[in-house]
Amino acid sequence: MILVIEPDPSTRAALVHRLPEPEPISEVDSLEEADETLQRLADSTSCLVLGPSLDRAGALTFAEKVGQRDAVGVLLVAQELESAVLREALRAGVDDVLTLDAAPGEWDESLARARGRAATERGHRRPEVAEDTERGRLVSVFSTKGGCGKSVVATNLALLAAERSKQNVGLIDLDLQSGDMAIMLQLMPALSIYDASQSVSHLDAEAMQGYLTPHASGVHLLAAPMEPSLGEQITATSIQTILELLRSLFPLTIIDGPPLFTDQMLGALDISDEIILVGSMDVPSIKSLKMAIQTLKQLGHSREKLRVVMNRADSKVGLRAAEVEKSLGVEIDVQIPSSRDVPLSINQGIPLAASRPKSPVVGAIGELVPDLIPQADEQGERGRFFRRR
């Protein structure tokens, strides 16, 4: 339910008209009444909309109080968008500030973001999810250069982890514009991350399973949107909510990233336990790897969280690993050789880990597994993850 709080009846009607939702709307004309409604119905309220005729200071104090007590999104509607109002509102914990004449797309996006944030918070407040030992790990596979082998590493790593741990493993395609995980696994997803993001405020772990496409290996894919343009509509907050749900389903979820720092990827990196940076043996790729390492450091990610993987490390292109390490300022953790089996496996839609498990490429990617699921066998005993069928 969305709770609209606005004293002026005609403005209130205009606000209700703006809400593009099938979700029920409840209207009240004062903060007192809103408080009373929330005390009864906080659990079924996804978002508050604070109307423009409310006293600003009172509305913001109310937003702050609600923020401490209930996990609901809060939008403030102002007469005009001034930076002072925005700052005050954000400080009070308001998710976004809009004007009454904001475009429908802006309303949609602000609402989705506010509800996504609230849903994540609800997840954190739920005691069973908060237990750290029971949460699965999130591992991002990333680079700021295209075509260096992220998707090859991500798919094979997911397959190897599923096989060795005898558990299901999550795989999410965050290359929202041109994701190719489904093709690499020869899957035909009926639903994608876009569909999951559309209902993010109502999702729980069980509902999340409906958006996944299973692969025979025990890997469960959350596919990229079928239409590239849909990717832009998925907010970073909804990605984080989805990732937290996947974390509660799988002991390990692998994220295959786009070749640049998108908002959504930054959100995923923030909550990842490990980041696998992939580079290949050519000067532009190494330069972009170096920049990526620096940017990640600036964003506060520690070196311990990073694994540096050099793909096609045996390429005879006049560069040696030692020189590359010196230039990067970090050691390379894993070196993957070049092999024509890789493009062959992609064209077949059967990852090498399944078709040629003895390939040196698979051997190298497999070196990453023990770091990601340290007690693979013990985890096999754990009951609360989505068990292998």
Ligand X SMILES: Nc1ncnc2c1ncn2[C@@H]1O[C@H](COP(=O)(O)OP(=O)(O)OP(=O)(O)O)[C@@H](O)[C@H]1O
Report 345-374 residues binding ligand X (CB under 6 A). 346, 361
Q: Is the dihedral of CA 219, 222, 227, 228 positive or negative?
A: negative
**Minimum gap (Å) between residue 179 Cβ and Mg ion:** 7
The contact pattern for Mg ion, residues 144-163, with x = CB under 5 A and - = no contact, is ------xx------------
Which partner in ligand X, Mg ion, none is near 193 (CB below 5 to 8 A by kind)? Answer: none
- Under a CB-based contact definition with an 8 Å cutoff, are residues 313 and 279 in contact? no
| Residue whose CB is less far from ligand X, 209 or 339 | 339
What letter does residue 227 receive in the DSSP assignment?
A: S
Residue among 109, 121, 104, 118 at smallest CA distance from 48 = 118
Give the Cα-Cα-Cα angle 118, 56, 54 (nearest 5 degrees): 90
**Minimum gap (Å) between residue 146 Cβ and Mg ion:** 7
The contact pattern for ligand X, residues 244-263, with x = CB under 6 A and - = no contact, is ---------------x----
Interface with ligand X (CB under 6 A), residue from 147, 284, 363, 370: 147
For 66-104, the DSSP string reads HHHH---EEEEEESS--HHHHHHHHHTT-SEEEETT--H
Q: Is the dihedral of CA 217, 273, 241, 98 positive or negative?
A: negative
Binding status of residue 31 toward ligand X by CB under 6 A: no
What letter does residue 204 receive in the DSSP assignment?
A: -
Interface with ligand X (CB under 6 A), residue from 48, 148, 169, 354: 148
Instruction: Write the CA distances from 1 to 58, 71, 98, 111, integer angstroms.
Output: 23, 13, 19, 12
Binding status of residue 312 toward ligand X by CB under 6 A: yes
SS3 content of the chain, % helix, strand, coil (to 5): 50, 15, 35
Interface with ligand X (CB under 6 A), residue from 113, 115, 137, 150: 150
Which range in 217-225, 319-327, 332-340, 366-374 contacts ligand X by CB under 6 A?
332-340
Binding status of residue 146 toward ligand X by CB under 6 A: yes
Which tokens sit at 334?
């894993």
**Minimum gap (Å) between residue 268 Cβ and ligand X:** 15
| Residue whose CB is less far from Mg ion, 45 or 151 | 151
Q: Please give the residue ranges that form the binding site for Mg ion (CB under 5 A).
A: 150-151
Where along the sequence are the contacts to ligand X (CB under 6 A)?
143, 146-152, 175, 259, 311-312, 336, 338-339, 342-343, 346, 361
